[in-house]
Amino acid sequence: MSLQSYTRSRTEGPLITGVLDGSPAAQAGARVGDEITAVDGVMPRDIIEWQWAIDVSNPSISVTRGGLERELEIVKPEGASLGIEIESAVFDRVRTCDNHCEFCFIHQLPKGMRRSLYLKDDDYRLSFLFGNFTTLTRFTESDLERVIDERLSPLHVSIHAIDPFDRSRMLKNSRGGMSLRWLRAILDAGIEVRGQIVVCPGVNDGEVFERTMLGIADSFSDLASVAVVPLGISKFNTEAAMRVHTAEEARNVLSVVLQWQMLFEQLVGHKMVFAADEYFLMADEPFPALGDYGDCDMHEDGIGMAATFATEFLNESTAETAPRRGFFASVDVGQLTNPAAYTGLRSTPVAITASPKRKVDAVTVLTGAMGAKVIGPLIDSSNSQLDVRVLAVENNYFGGNTGVTGLLTGTDLCEALTDADPDRRYLLPDVCLSDAGQFLDGLSVDDLPVPVDVIPTHGHALREALGLT
């Protein structure tokens, strides 16, 4: 069994990028590079409709090959796999964001990165598929109907503020004041929704944050969870009102979150609202125990990751909970030119080539500034027989308060490893690489000045790499 691969320039319909040998699609004559134009006479709008369309028995797929239309008559039972991969998650047009949030990180990206990384979406389909957050300012009645009919759950909604004036001001969009009515309608239909609040000092903290918590308790208490995260600031930020939290402001946010956790436990039976790990680092406060997070999986928001990693590293848990690619997950598409493409749709991931494991007594763990604050104390207490060092790589590429490991670039790693000892073994977490093995700046591990071993981003993998039993 082999899977072909294909890279192409942008065309109108989704392309077949892989065909599994011996599959129903292969037997029907499907080829890599075929452009899909319809399934049983109808062109799906996205991967969701595509899955519904091909789940039937014996679908007919129309494709274009070399400028000629062809019909692929698939023979398979209902529910069986088709055996092909397609390039895109969205086949029509990604619904872009028409808000103008001052805190938007996309606005703070440097020039010269891959075009797909500059895509600002506000598309409920990507919210369902990849956990992207939508403000619902472009949501419509027909969108609501589809979400309900197809049970697109969970969705992820950016709240930021409940008061209509405060929310419109933050989004710089008059529709922002009223678009949470869609949130109420979605929740009424029984769709699970996970909320997020990006807290900007002097804008939606303090009394505004308190009002937002009160509004959630009053109008949206059936949310599954609410993530409270600090804004990210890069050195390319041009908004004078946007700044990082002070330690005192971080402690104030944590205090409000803690108070409302206790209230929500009484009101709805669970804590609902959680603060990002970054707040505990900024406030120099200890992380909550892993059990304090309950069943909430909010690693994509940077919540509970430190407690989970520590539990894994200390071998107190057998589950592996490595995060996905993070901030740019839905658009980090390697060399593909379609901004809607997403590498996570591949049925077999692209392997990341790493140097062979070497038996050395000296190991350096590469991580971001925030990761070092978590990993360093764990290694210090591990009683490892190796000479283990943690190298906190400074993120000069983005600058500002960007300290998460997932945003490390090859450029910064090259700089940090300029004088690297070739006799040491270097460990790099895979969270800063795309499935194609690229950093956000387009470099790969092959461009680094010394070989590195790429390991999964969870505590078990680091423990194993350090030879701890």
CATH of 362-465, one of 2.40.128, 2.60.40, 3.30.70, 3.40.50: 3.40.50
pLDDT in tens, 44-97: 999 999 999 999 999 999 999 999 999 999 999 999 999 999 888 888 888 999
DSSP state of 276: -
pLDDT at 379: 93
pLDDT in tens, 120-169: 899 999 999 999 999 999 999 999 999 999 999 999 999 999 999 999 99
Collapsed DSSP state (helix, strand, coil) of residue 87: coil
* Amino acid letter for position 130: F
- Per-residue pLDDT band for 8 (boundaries 50, 70, 90) equals very low
pLDDT in tens, 247-303: 999 999 999 999 999 999 999 999 999 999 999 999 999 999 999 998 877 888 899
- The CATH code of domain 106-314 reads 3.20.20
- Per-residue pLDDT band for 331 (boundaries 50, 70, 90) equals very low
Any idea where the domains of the chain sit in the sequence?
Answer: 16-86, 106-314, 362-465
- The CATH code of domain 16-86 reads 2.30.42.10
- Per-residue pLDDT band for 29 (boundaries 50, 70, 90) equals very high
pLDDT in tens, 93-115: 889 999 999 999 988 988 877 77
Least Cα distance to 58 among 36, 38, 80 occurs for: 80
Is residue 68 exposed (0-12), middle (13-18) or buried (19+ Cβ within 10 Å)?
Answer: exposed
pLDDT at 318: 62
- Enumerate the β-bridge partners of residue 319: none
- Per-residue pLDDT band for 327 (boundaries 50, 70, 90) equals very low
What is the residue-wise DSSP string for 24-81?
HHHHTT--TTPEEEEETTB--SBHHHHHHHHTSSS-EEEEEETTEEEEEE----TT--
Torsion of CA 311, 316, 319, 320, to 10 degrees: 40
- Please state, for a pLDDT cut of 90, what percent of the chain lies above it: 75
CB atoms within 10 A of CB 391: 17
- Tell me: pLDDT of 31 over 50: yes
How many residues does this entry show for the chain? 469
- Per-residue pLDDT band for 190 (boundaries 50, 70, 90) equals very high
Least Cα distance to 305 among 377, 413, 401, 404 occurs for: 404
First-to-last alpha carbon distance for the chain, in angstroms, is: 36
pLDDT at 335: 27
pTM over 0.75: yes
CB 167 within 8 Å of CB 200: no
Angle, vertex CA 106, rays to CA 105 and CA 110, nearest 5: 100
